[in-house]
Amino acid sequence: MSKIIELFENFFTGVVPLEGYIAVSLIMFFAGIYGFLTRKNLLMLLISVELILNAADLNFAAFNRYLFPERYEGMFFVLFTIAISACEAAVAIAIIINIYRNMTNIDVESIENLEEPKETYREIIKS
Amino acid sequence: MAEHIIFYTLALVIAVFSVLTVTTTKIIRSATFLLFVLLGVAGMFLLLNYHYLFAVQIAVYAGGVMVLFIFGILLTHRPGEKIAKVPFKRRFSALSVSLVGIAFCASIIFYNINRVYKFVSNSELAMQDIGETLMGTEKFQYLLPFEAISILLLACIVGGIMIGRKRS
């Protein structure tokens, strides 16, 4: 209880507390979890994943700045995470557009009966 | 003081729009709210003095990934179409999972992070340091992950074309 009072007394003094950044990323993370569990559209699942990844990025940057300000590890992890999530989004959207072409909608229920394509990848490359 | 006001404004924007992103019924609106969240995170990076990360976040996320999302939405949706209503049971279970998670993590954060951290506010990273750290091969330098990312990007381009192209 005393800690809460102390937190409000120091609300506008000193630097912004580390807890502030972590609380923001916590809300983002669990909003992403909620969206991932409730939404049925594949693109919405992808948007939720982007929210989760951004929460992780914010945590990396805040921890690096507050705990080890003379090091660069957190910052470079954020850089590589952004690059990987851009890759992931590109490939996932290509897959989603392909699913839409075959099934005409992109709900998660509609793709439970996947089957092997008739042509093998060797034939795809040859064509 | 000014830093605090900016931080709490950005925090409010991020919190409200990240909740709206996963609860709104139109998908294009949801992508727009995601864009606001990404811009808010970019502002947070600026507030933490990571100017390079700010630029990367704006260029890659707000520029690249959002355009991909909007193209994906426009290619897979008839305009004005609403998302089907989620059944109450599923929404309730997801809501309880995320609320329990928030409570658990918040209690851990509240009782375990004490104020021993230091914050050097006026130390912006020099661009030269970033370049040397990214391109070196010694300890705490990142040439190998950089090259791995470049291979991954190449594989991603090839895979995206392979998957998304039209079958003849």
Partners of residue A120 in chain B, C-beta under 8 Å: none
The interface residues of chain A toward chain B in range 82-121, judged by CB-CB distance below 8 A, are 82-87, 89-91, 93-98, 100, 106-107, 119
Q: Is the pLDDT of residue B66 over 70?
A: yes
**Distance, CA of A96 to CA of B64 (rounded, Å):** 17
Mean pLDDT of A48-62: 93
Contact A18 B61 (CB under 8 A): no
**Distance, CA of B69 to CA of A85 (rounded, Å):** 13
The residue ranking higher by pLDDT, B46 or B136, is B46
What was the pLDDT predicted at B27?
Answer: 86
Evaluate whether ipTM surpasses 0.85.
Answer: yes
Partners of residue B93 in chain A, C-beta under 8 Å: 37
Partners of residue B47 in chain A, C-beta under 8 Å: 16
Q: Is the pLDDT of residue A119 over 70?
A: no
Contact A91 B41 (CB under 8 A): no
Where do the DSSP E strands lie in A1-127? none
Nearest residue in chain A measured CA to CA from B63? A86
Report residue A51's pLDDT band, with 50, 70 and 90 as the boundaries: very high
Q: Is the pLDDT of residue A29 over 90?
A: yes
- The model's pLDDT over B6-27, given as tens digits with 9 standing for 90+, comes to 999 999 999 999 999 998 888 8
CATH number, domain containing residue A27: 1.10.287.3510
The CA dihedral of B43, B46, B50, B56, to the nearest 10 degrees, is: 50
Q: Is the pLDDT of residue B137 over 70?
A: yes
Q: Is the pLDDT of residue A81 over 70?
A: yes
Q: Which of B44, B96, B108 to mutate to test the interface with A (most CBs of A within 10 A)?
A: B44
Q: Is A49 on the interface with B (CB under 8 A)?
A: no
Mean pLDDT of B30-56: 92
Indicate the number of domains in chain A: 1
Q: Which of B110, B119, B159 sits opposite A66 (nearest CB)?
A: B119
Partners of residue B150 in chain A, C-beta under 8 Å: none
Q: Which of A69, A88, A58, A106 is nearest to B40 (CA)?
A: A58
Contact B109 A124 (CB under 8 A): no
Tell me the average pLDDT of chain A: 82
The residue ranking higher by pLDDT, A52 or A13, is A52
Mean pLDDT of A72-101: 89
> What domains are defined for chain B?
1-82 (1.20.120.1200), 126-168 (no CATH)
Residue B93 CA: distances (Å) to CA of A4, B22, B87, B103, B128: 30, 15, 10, 15, 50
Q: Is B126 on the interface with A (CB under 8 A)?
A: no
What was the pLDDT predicted at A115?
Answer: 62
What was the pLDDT predicted at B18?
Answer: 93
Residues of the domain holding A119: 2-126
Q: Is the pLDDT of residue A7 over 70?
A: no
Contact B22 A48 (CB under 8 A): yes
Q: Range with the lowest mean pLDDT among A9-23, A108-122, B91-105, B150-164?
A: A108-122
